[in-house]
Homo-oligomer: A and B are copies of this chain.
Amino acid sequence: MDFSKLNGLVAAVIQDAATREVLMVGFMNKEAFDKTLETGYATFFSRSRKKLWLKGESSGHRLVVKSIATDCDKDALLVKVDALGPGVCHNGYESCFYRQPKDGEWVAVDEQTYDPNAVYGGSH
């Protein structure tokens, strides 16, 4: 993998292996990538917290890796997963991509699949 283009990171697209829904985009450094391969659970590098982030660590909504692929210039990953739990988005949606533009605003077009306060206790 070429981690040089994004300051040590590559973009990782997370796609539901069954429904083919794109769930989220995360970023992995070399360590997160190795951890993902080794454990079989998608692990990212949190840019805000500046540390490894096992997705689902607190919520239990882990992402079980079914397959992994890289692109032509090896600076992005496509990770197909089996998503444990009702959604990957900490705002309560199945996919983080729940908003579309409408009259110059981003508007939620999906339905929430769980109550984020019940899962994260409003502390995120």
The CA of A44 and the CA of B15, in the complex, are separated in Å by 22
Q: Is A24 a contact of B97 with CB atoms below 8 Å?
A: no
Whether, in the assembled complex, A118 has its beta carbon less than 8 Å from a beta carbon of chain B, the answer is: no
| Size bin of chain A's contact surface | 20 to 34
Question: Which residue, A6, A69, A76, A101, has most C-beta atoms of chain B within 10 A?
Answer: A69
Chain A interface (Cβ within 8 Å of chain B)?
5-6, 11, 13, 15, 20-22, 24-25, 37, 47, 67-72, 74, 76, 78, 89-91, 93, 96-101, 106, 109
* A11-B11, A11-B76, A37-B101 known, 14 other contacts, Cβ within 8 Å: A5-B47, A11-B25, A13-B13, A20-B21, A24-B71, A25-B76, A69-B109, A70-B97, A70-B99, A70-B100, A70-B106, A71-B97, A72-B89, A72-B93
